[in-house]
């Protein structure tokens, strides 16, 4: 399947820039949409723009490696319906049509690409209703469309699944009228309507819109399945704010290294001030969410990134607890508890990762009850900080040892109970 | 595709038993073949046997859950060609024909099922040539077949891919002759020949054959990819002998528990005699291969079994090194080395299992160089035993710490170098 992307507008409210090439969360808007479409079976892209922005889009295509071409609408003032008309000779059969300045979530796009006609949102949560193009539906088709409709059933999402028939309607209008909007074509074609409601999409008209989109992408990038209570109700609130600030300034791998350095630093600081070390350790735990959030929001996830992050987390935990044990010191019994606590902390991670190695699936997704087991890293680190602050270091090792090994036992039990083989 | 299994012989040299139902490596011969065929697309089985064994095979079908039926050859003395003739109305199109008393390796069966005609072996390694049915090939087809051929190109493996045409030939012979062997049909049909050479298969005629088959199945059940030098050149030589003895007497999970108990016992014995503890630890390392060998040889592998085995290995290693450290005792610096050694041992396993969780593949298969990195469990345990025996316990922890963490670094480096993303 091919996709036509209408990008002939001048983006005047964004300071005369091709809006599709604006970056949100570290990636151009059209990169995001094209990448998601590619993952869902679209293999060629036709971008219709104006003469002025032609070079920008050609550069983009070359840089990003997508298969496609750039067509020029020499008279962009004739409207985006006229831009569609220009693509006529370049598509056949079913194709996707979308606006270059609309941003769609993965969930929206995956659903939309399987539907037909005009995709409309009956319950738009992320757009300014006053600015939106409303659609009145009758018998499953567009009865009327426009910004000023009093009565409407949904909002035009700027995403369509069409076929060649649309070009006959476009042709007819283009020969009769000077200015032809997509709305004119949709109204005249009485396009079929498909509802996709409540999933994230929005159009970018102002710098304020860009910020809102970034905010959403970061919020939506929380993986979550393996998050403990501390992470869910505390760490993530802070890490997402940091991610919003950094997503366009730093790569996920750089962030992984910074977080690792922060964790190792916290272990060193323990020798001078265990309390300060504990606080820094908790800060490193908050930062630990940022690399993943940035990676997912900017479509830069890599398996190696996740791998390295896991290994480094283990080393940070080891370094911190080792420092703490050395500073505290004690008899053989103290060292036994230390060993049990450190070993238990690893076994928590090992017992879940090893599940994924064996079964190929995330244990938290397969066995939702696992989410309620305490002892995850974010919880252990928070507990560590608190117990250092109140001065109970020996007790900390005992508690960590008990929690972690009980958790491993519970994990084995739950897997055994839920297993297929 | 369907499969016809000829099982009308009386198994006189095995003491009048249905040979197909004899167990090798804990599974009936025909169970093994049917299971492998099922995994390769065969969905229905037709077993032709004699009146006396009908009940045995019907029981087997019910017990094992395979889809299929049992046909009776009322006159088994008329030969196995006559048995094939009986299946005539029950198959159509392409089908597999095999002898019930032949055992085939997974590799042989996977290759054979994609070929056509009579599958013959140009280089039979596992059968007694004097007893084998030889085939003379001309222009890719059977020219002659028989035990006594002077000149031959390959040996009949008892495995055929046929279609309905074979029944016309069978019919013709059956009406003319009293006794019709498969060889008569194959010769007359001038069957096409496909060579599969050097892969394991054999027919079971005597109790001695059964032993040889078991020996092969155990030897072939070594997973190997993650084995270190000690395992390859020492532990496996012993564990396979133990597996041969136990495969029909114990389940893999029972063996996992016994091995775990042995490992924990070795950790306790350290308190009375570190040397004896070290030897027992090495014995538990040898036993650690047995559960997997038995599971694979008896087609009883389970993901949970592998999972539990991994978790238990970690606990055994921890228990042993902890006991050793407690018995030795020492200043803070000693405990630091102990922690580094235990943590490092853990990270060796974590860094390979985490790879599988991230990439879905075995790191030793994907990155063969990984096999040459020392520090695998079998090597660490062997080293531990040796160093305890010569009395260098402190040095042992230092060496373990260095080897394991260097190995983790090398693992990360190799993965980074070989990674796709």
CB atoms within 10 A of CB A154: 23
Q: How confident is the model at residue B206, as a pLDDT? A: 87
Phi and psi torsions of A384, nearest 5°: -60, -50
Q: Is A215 on the interface with B (CB under 8 A)?
A: no
Task: Count H helices and E strands in chain A, helices first.
Answer: 17, 13
Q: Do B303 and A416 touch (CB under 8 A)?
A: no
pLDDT above 90: percentage of residues in chain B: 86
Alpha-carbon distance of B136 to B70, in angstroms, equals: 33
CA A326 to chain CA centroid, Å, is 41
Alpha-carbon distance of A30 to A100, in angstroms, equals: 6
Cα distances (Å, whole numbers) of residue A77 to A6, A57, A132, A172, B199: 13, 19, 21, 18, 73
Alpha-carbon distance of A385 to B357, in angstroms, equals: 30
Q: Of A170, A173, A43, A24, give the one whose Cα is nearest residue A100.
A: A24
Q: Is the pLDDT of residue B198 over 90?
A: no
Q: Of B174, B312, B393, B193, give the one whose Cα is nearest residue A409.
A: B312
Q: Is A421 on the interface with B (CB under 8 A)?
A: yes
Do the beta carbons of residue B30 and residue B11 sit within 8 Å? no
CA B65 to chain CA centroid, Å, is 21
- Secondary structure (DSSP) of A234-252: IIHHHHHHHHHHHTTT--H
Q: Where are the beta strands (DSSP E) in B291-390?
A: none
Sign of the Cα pseudo-torsion (A118, A124, A129, A131, in order): negative
- Supply angle C-alpha B405, B406, B408, rounded to 5: 65
Q: What is the pLDDT along chain A (421 residues), one digit of tens a residue?
A: 999 999 998 888 888 889 999 999 889 999 999 999 999 999 999 999 999 999 999 999 999 999 999 999 999 999 999 999 999 999 989 999 999 999 999 999 999 999 999 999 998 888 888 889 999 999 999 999 999 898 999 999 999 999 999 999 999 999 999 999 999 999 999 999 999 988 999 999 888 899 999 999 998 888 767 899 999 999 999 999 999 999 999 999 999 999 999 999 999 999 999 999 999 999 999 999 999 999 999 999 999 999 999 999 999 999 999 999 999 998 999 999 999 999 999 999 999 999 999 999 999 999 989 999 999 999 999 999 999 999 999 999 999 999 999 999 999 999 999 876 6
Structure tokens belonging to residue A160: 């369509």
How many CA atoms lie within 13 Å of A116's alpha carbon, on the beta-carbon side? 9
Alpha-carbon distance of A41 to A34, in angstroms, equals: 10
Q: Do B318 and A325 touch (CB under 8 A)?
A: no
- Angle of the B274-287 helix axis to the B303-328 helix axis, nearest 10: 170
Domains of chain A: 2-216 (3.90.550.10), 224-418 (1.20.120.1760)
Q: Is B322 on the interface with A (CB under 8 A)?
A: yes
- Using CB atoms, which residue from B340, B343, B353 is nearest to A357? B353
- pLDDT bracket for residue B420 (50, 70, 90): low
Alpha-carbon distance of A392 to A319, in angstroms, equals: 19
Alpha-carbon distance of A314 to B342, in angstroms, equals: 13
Q: How confident is the model at residue B339, as a pLDDT? A: 95
> Looking at chain A, which residue has its C-alpha nearest residue B419?
A304
Per-residue buried b or exposed e for B357-370, using 16+ beta carbons within 10 Å of the residue's own CB: bbbeebbbebbeeb
For testing the chain A interface, which of B302, B337, B358, B416 should be mutated: the one with the most A CBs within 10 Å?
B358
Q: Is B413 on the interface with A (CB under 8 A)?
A: no
Q: Work out the minimum CA distance from B128 to partner chain A, whole angstroms.
A: 39
Helix or strand run (H / E) with residue B243: helix B236-246
pLDDT in tens, B313-366: 999 999 999 999 999 998 999 999 999 999 999 999 999 999 999 999 999 999
Q: How confident is the model at residue B215, as a pLDDT? A: 92
Three-state secondary-structure class, residue A224: coil
Alpha-carbon distance of B311 to A110, in angstroms, equals: 39
The residues near B330 (Cβ < 8 Å, ≥ 6 apart) are B394
Q: How confident is the model at residue B123, as a pLDDT? A: 87
Give ipTM to 2 decimals: 0.87
Helix or strand run (H / E) with residue A162: strand A154-162
Alpha-carbon distance of B420 to A58, in angstroms, equals: 28
Alpha-carbon distance of A355 to A351, in angstroms, equals: 6
Alpha-carbon distance of A51 to A46, in angstroms, equals: 15
Do the beta carbons of residue B9 and residue B16 sit within 8 Å? no
Q: How confident is the model at residue A14, as a pLDDT? A: 80
Alpha-carbon distance of A29 to A36, in angstroms, equals: 11
Write down the pTM of the prediction.
0.89
Q: How confident is the model at residue B421, as a pLDDT? A: 65
Q: Do B360 and A360 touch (CB under 8 A)?
A: yes
Mean pLDDT of B262-279: 98
End-to-end CA distance of chain B: 40
Do the beta carbons of residue A103 and residue A202 sit within 8 Å? yes
Do the beta carbons of residue A170 and residue A91 sit within 8 Å? no
Q: Say which residue the tokens 């980074």 belong to.
A: B416
Q: Is the pLDDT of residue B308 over 70?
A: yes
Q: Is B300 on the interface with A (CB under 8 A)?
A: no
Q: Is A89 on the interface with B (CB under 8 A)?
A: no
> Looking at chain A, which residue has its C-alpha nearest residue B408?
A311
For testing the chain B interface, which of A253, A311, A313, A413 should be mutated: the one with the most B CBs within 10 Å?
A311
Q: Do B353 and A349 touch (CB under 8 A)?
A: no
pLDDT in tens, B20-73: 999 998 899 999 999 999 999 999 999 999 999 999 999 999 999 999 999 999
Cα distances (Å, whole numbers) of residue A400 to A272, A339, A347, B109, B319: 23, 10, 12, 52, 17
- pLDDT bracket for residue B224 (50, 70, 90): low
- Using CB atoms, which residue from B304, B318, B326 is nearest to A343? B318
Q: How confident is the model at residue A224, as a pLDDT? A: 65
């Amino acid at each position: 399947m091919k996709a036509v992307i209408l990008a002939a507008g001048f983006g005047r409210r964004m300071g005369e820039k091709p809006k599709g090439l604006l970056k949100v969360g570290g990636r151009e808007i059209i990169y995001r949409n094209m990448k998601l479409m590619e993952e869902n079976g679209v293999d060629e892209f036709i971008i219709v723009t104006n003469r002025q922005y032609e070079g920008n889009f050609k550069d983009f295509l070359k840089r990003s490696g997508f298969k496609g071409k750039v067509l020029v609408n020499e008279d962009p003032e004739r409207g985006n319906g006229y831009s569609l008309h220009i693509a006529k000779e370049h598509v056949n059969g079913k194709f996707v049509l979308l606006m270059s300045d609309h941003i769609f979530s993965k969930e929206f796009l995956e659903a939309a690409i399987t539907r037909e006609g005009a995709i409309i949102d009956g319950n738009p949560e992320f757009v300014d209703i006053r600015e939106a193009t409303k659609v009145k539906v009758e018998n499953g088709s567009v009865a009327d469309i426009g910004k000023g409709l009093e009565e409407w059933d949904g909002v035009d999402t700027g995403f369509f699944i069409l076929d060649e028939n649309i070009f006959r309607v476009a042709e007819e209008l283009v020969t009769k009228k000077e200015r032809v909007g997509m709305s004119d074509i949709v109204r005249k074609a009485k396009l079929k309507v498909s509802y996709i409601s409540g999933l994230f999409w929005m159009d970018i008209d102002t710098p304020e819109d860009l910020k809102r989109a970034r905010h959403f992408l970061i919020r939506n990038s929380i993986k979550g399945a393996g998050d403990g209570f501390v992470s869910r109700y505390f760490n993530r609130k802070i890490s997402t704010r940091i991610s919003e600030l950094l997503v366009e300034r730093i790569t996920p791998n750089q962030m992984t290294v910074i977080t690792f350095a922060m964790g190792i630093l916290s272990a060193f600081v323990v020798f001078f001030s265990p309390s300060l070390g504990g606080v820094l350790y908790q800060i490193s735990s908050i930062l630990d969410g940022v690399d993943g959030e940035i990676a997912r929001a900017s479509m830069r996830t890599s398996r190696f990134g996740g791998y390295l992050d896991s290994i480094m987390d283990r080393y940070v935990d080891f370094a911190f607890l080792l420092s703490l044990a050395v500073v505290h010191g004690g008899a053989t019994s103290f060292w036994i508890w230390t060993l049990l606590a450190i070993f238990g902390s690893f076994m928590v991670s090992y017992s879940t990762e090893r599940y994924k190695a064996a079964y190929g699936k995330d244990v938290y997704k397969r066995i939702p009850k696992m989410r309620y087991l305490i002892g995850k890293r974010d919880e252990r680190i928070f507990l560590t900080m608190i117990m250092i602050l109140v001065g109970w270091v020996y007790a900390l090792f005992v508690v960590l040892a008990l929690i972690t090994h009980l958790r491993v036992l519970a994990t084995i039990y739950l897997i055994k109970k839920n297993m297929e083989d």
